[in-house]
Each structure stands twice: as structure tokens, then as C-alpha cells.
């Protein structure tokens, strides 16, 4: 790594810039001003913004931690890997708040039918199996980016068991598609927007942050 500062920002005009543009476009398509439903004192627009902001905050957090660790060991020298992981999973769990949006915006696009429920289950199953495969074979710490911190994770073979036998990017192909299952099951227009935004933004993260990091971490092993 010749220029650490340059690498720290590498690809972020596409990753974060693209995600912010997607956020703006999604907000323009949302039509929640006249939706008076609320849960826990937050109306539909509030829940929509929460569901949109959390992935953005999460991806910014991961970029800063991963890159600063690779460049300067900043995380290890401050909050440590444990501190990083705690906040990482708090943000992951916080993404589930998008489910609330499904209920405050239920049926805004169409009235869900049995067919919608069947399709949503079909989409949900590989996502659920992905999470099972992560727990059983891959490991949640490894999924959180432990290879940015410890060499023992870098020396592990690439996982080929469970759903990973079908694709090495199962978390981004299947697990991140779970919001689509909820959108289809509830007919929520705003949830469809969140699902599309989340799916595209995670691939921006993969191509312009994670994949570039892998070149440093794994080098010729890729």
C-alpha cells in the first residue's frame, strides 16, 4: 500500500456518492405525506427515513473502520475489534426497524394476496438459509470483517459449504434480498423503495470498498 490516505478514500465517490444519490431518488419516489399511520409515536415518513438512514450509516461506519484498520490499525488502537463488532451488530439489528415500515405503509401499492405471500416465502427461504450457513460455516465475526483485523481469518480457506457452494457472495445475493420478501408480503410501496435502495447500495459497498480491501488482504489468493 503505497499511499494509505489515497487508499482510505479509494472508490468512495462511487460507494458513498452512489448510495446518497440512491437515497435522494428513493425519497423522491416515496409518497408518505398523507399517510397518518404511526407506531411508537413515529409516522410512516419517520420510519421510512429511519429505514433509509441506517444502511447509509452502517456502510459509512464499516468503510471508516475497515480502511482505517488496514491503513493505520486505528480501530485496534482505540475501541478494539470487540468495540467495533458491538456497534456493527447494533447497526445490523437496527436494520430490522424497516419491518415496522411494512405495517405503517401496509397495502399502499397493492392489497396483498395469497400469491404475494407465496412469492415472499420463496424469496425469504434462501435468505434464511444464508443466515443459517453464516452461523454454521462462515461465522458472524468473519462476516463482520474479522479478516481486516486478524491474520488467522485471512489464512482460512474460502467457504464452500452450505449456501456458499452456490455463490461466494450469498450474503449480498440472498440475505440482503429479505426486505423484498417483506415488501411483497405487505404490498408496501415504501418498503419496495427501501429494498431496492438496500440491495443496490450493498453491491456498491462490495465493489468499491470490500473488493478493494480484499486485494490488500488476500493479494494473489483471490
The pTM (predicted TM-score) of the whole model is 0.94
Nearest to 98 by CA among 173, 9, 195: 195
Q: How many domains does the chain have?
A: 1
Is the pLDDT reported for residue 220 higher than 70? no
Mean pLDDT estimate for the chain:
96
- Sorting pLDDT into bands at 50, 70 and 90, what band is 35? very high
Is the pLDDT reported for residue 221 higher than 90? no
Q: Kindly state the DSSP code that residue 177 receives in the 8-state scheme.
A: G
Which has the minimum average pLDDT: 23-27, 153-157, 196-200?
153-157
**pLDDT tens readout for residues 69-101:** 999 999 999 999 999 999 999 999 999 999 999
- For 183, the domain range is 4-221
**Long-range CB contacts (within 8 A, 24+) of 32-36:** 32/105, 32/190, 35/104, 35/105, 35/108
Is the pLDDT reported for residue 1 higher than 80? no
CB-hemisphere CA count at 13 Å for 152?
2
Label residue 94 exposed, middle or buried (CB < 10 Å: 0-12, 13-18, 19+).
middle
**pLDDT tens readout for residues 163-209:** 999 999 999 999 999 999 999 999 999 999 999 999 999 999 999 99
- Sorting pLDDT into bands at 50, 70 and 90, what band is 58? very high
Give me the pLDDT at residue 219, please. Answer: 85
Amino acid at each position: 500500500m503505497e499511499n494509505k490516505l489515497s487508499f482510505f478514500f479509494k472508490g468512495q465517490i462511487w460507494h458513498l456518492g452512489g448510495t446518497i444519490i440512491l437515497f435522494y431518488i428513493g425519497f423522491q419516489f416515496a409518497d408518505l405525506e398523507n399517510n397518518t399511520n404511526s407506531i411508537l409515536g413515529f409516522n410512516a415518513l419517520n420510519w421510512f427515513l429511519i429505514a433509509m438512514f441506517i444502511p447509509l450509516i452502517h456502510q459509512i461506519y464499516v468503510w471508516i473502520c475497515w480502511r482505517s484498520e488496514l491503513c493505520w490499525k486505528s480501530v485496534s488502537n482505540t475501541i478494539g475489534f470487540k468495540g467495533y463488532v458491538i456497534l456493527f451488530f447494533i447497526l445490523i439489528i437496527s436494520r430490522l426497524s424497516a419491518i415496522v415500515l411494512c405495517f405503517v405503509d401496509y397495502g399502499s401499492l397493492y392489497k396483498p394476496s395469497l400469491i404475494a405471500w407465496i412469492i415472499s416465502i420463496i424469496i425469504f427461504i434462501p435468505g434464511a438459509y444464508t443466515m443459517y450457513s453464516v452461523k454454521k460455516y462462515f461465522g458472524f465475526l468473519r462476516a463482520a470483517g474479522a479478516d481486516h483485523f486478524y491474520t488467522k481469518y485471512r489464512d482460512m480457506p474460502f467457504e464452500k459449504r452450505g449456501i456458499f457452494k452456490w455463490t461466494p457472495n450469498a450474503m449480498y445475493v440472498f440475505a440482503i434480498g429479505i426486505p423484498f420478501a417483506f415488501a411483497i408480503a405487505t404490498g408496501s410501496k415504501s418498503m419496495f423503495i427501501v429494498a431496492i435502495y438496500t440491495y443496490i447500495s450493498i453491491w456498491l459497498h462490495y465493489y468499491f470498498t470490500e473488493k478493494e480491501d480484499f486485494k490488500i488482504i488476500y493479494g494473489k489468493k483471490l
